[in-house]
Every structure is written in structure tokens, then in C-alpha cells.
Amino acid sequence: MHVRPAKFFDENGRRLDGRLPDEMRPVDMKVGVLSNADGSAIVSYGKTKVLAAVYGPREPLQKYTVLPDRASLFVRYHMAPFSTEERKSPVPTRREVEISKVLREALEPVVITELFPRTVIEVYVEVLQSDGGTRTASATAASLALADAGIPMRALVAGVAIGKVDNVVVLDLNEPEDNFGEADMPIVAAPDLGLITLFQLNGVMTVEETQKGLDMALKAISELVEKEKQTLRSSIEEVDVE
């Protein structure tokens, strides 16, 4: 999307894709989608679709990454060359290196790494289709894949971005809103622990707009975490205990 849309809202205050400002795109979650991984998940927020695969805890290939008192968490975020309108080079960009780092920091507080010293837990996230909000959908997918791998966690995390478009605070920006809006604020949180584990702001917002956006994001994140729990529960086959 290289051309700024003429307007972002119609006469009824609805966005280009028909949503109201505080409305999330349709969310879909599935776990156990890769049989070779210890845990995996596929998450979509509208057209944005990401795949997460978790391996470990296992012995690290590079011994210098070993930590004596806990597992090291390795996170790699990558956009598939076919995920964008124009082919993206498969070579990791600075943006992907930065997103890998912030995703690791967003997950570290909830993974109980102390249980697995001298091992590595690897999280690979591949963006299959991108339409804004890929880092936040990645956090949600990684959280689900870690839980699907049976990695002990203090809580689940989920992510969503809020932003400002034509001076209106909106939830879960799509690509045109992200690219041409005035601000974009991705948030990842663990509602069960009352923690925000990722908070970034690109652009300028007033204190009131930030507060309003944060409220919107935390409400949506609580709903996303509930959906993660339902998805995980329904992935476990019922066992009859005699």
C-alpha cells in the first residue's frame, strides 16, 4: 500500500474495513499445526497471519549461549518473502532483528526459564501474510506455541496495537492505518499478572489519547488471552478417567 487513502472513516465513523474505532479484526487461533515442533500455533488478525514454532528446552548448538541458572530464550521473527505486496528479501533486516529482540523481552517475564538451566528454548515466528500488527500477532502466536510445547509459564501474553488515524484513537491497525496514521503503539501484556511486557510508540499522541488507547488495548488483550485459553483447552483431547 503506497498511496494514502483519501479518507480513513466513512460518514458513519467506520474504518476502511468497516470496523468501529475500538473494534478488533476477526481473530483466529490454532495450536499444534506443525508435527515436528514441540509446540506451534497459527494466529490471524484479519489478513495478518503468523506461524510460531517452539523447540526445546534442548541443548544449545552454540555452547556460549548457555546460562548456568536458567534456559536461554531465543526468538527469531521473520517475514516470508511472499508475505508482503512487493516481494521482501528473505535476508533478515534490521527491523526483523529489532522485533526478534523486543519479542524475546516480551516473552521472558512469563516463561519459567529457571526450571531448565543450560538449555535453550527456541521460538521461531514466520509472518505468512502481513497487513499491520505483525509483531503483536507474533507475541500472541508465540505465547500459544510455548504453552502448546508444555513450557511452564507464569501466564499467557497477547498483543495488539493501538494508534491514531485522522485524530481518532483506533484499535488493531491494519497496514494503511499503520503506514499513514499519525501514531502506532504496539502493546503486549500478561493480564493475569498485571504486566505490560512490550510498549512501543511510533509517532506523537497526547497523554489522554495514550491513556484511552492503553485502556482499549488492555481490554482487547484480556479477550485475546481468554481466546488463547479456550484454544489450548479445546486442543487437549478429553481423557476418561475410570
**Residue ranges in contact with ligand ADP by CB under 6 A:** 84, 88, 95, 130-135, 161, 175, 178, 184, 186
Read out DSSP for 2-57? Answer: -S--S-SB-TTS-BTTS--TTPPPPEEEEE---SSSSEEEEEEETTEEEEEEEEEE
Q: Which residue's CB is nearer to ligand ADP, number 71 or number 106? A: 106
* Least distance to ligand ADP, CB of residue 4, Å: 14
Nearest to 71 by CA among 111, 99, 123, 100: 111
- Cis previous bond, 21, omega within 30: no
* Least distance to ligand ADP, CB of residue 63, Å: 33
Q: Which residue's CB is nearer to ligand ADP, number 24 or number 66? A: 24
Q: Which residue's CB is nearer to ligand ADP, number 96 or number 122? A: 96
CB 128 within 8 Å of CB 137? no
Per DSSP, 192 falls in state: G
* Least distance to ligand ADP, CB of residue 88, Å: 5
Hey, what's the cell of 166?
485522522
**3-state SS assignment for residue 186:** strand
Q: Which residue's CB is nearer to ligand ADP, number 40 or number 140? A: 140
Q: Which residue's CB is nearer to ligand ADP, number 38 or number 184? A: 184
Measured CA angle at 203 (ends 13, 16), to 5 deg? 25
Q: Which residue's CB is nearer to ligand ADP, number 84 or number 235? A: 84
* Least distance to ligand ADP, CB of residue 32, Å: 25
Q: Which residue's CB is nearer to ligand ADP, number 178 or number 228? A: 178
* Least distance to ligand ADP, CB of residue 97, Å: 12
Task: Give the distance from CA 74 to its chain's centroid.
Answer: 16
* Least distance to ligand ADP, CB of residue 183, Å: 11
Handedness of CA 74, 161, 232, 70 (dihedral sign): positive
Strand 120-129 to 72-79 pairing: parallel
* Least distance to ligand ADP, CB of residue 6, Å: 20
What spatial distance separates the first Cα and last Cα of the chain, rounded to whole Å?
Answer: 58
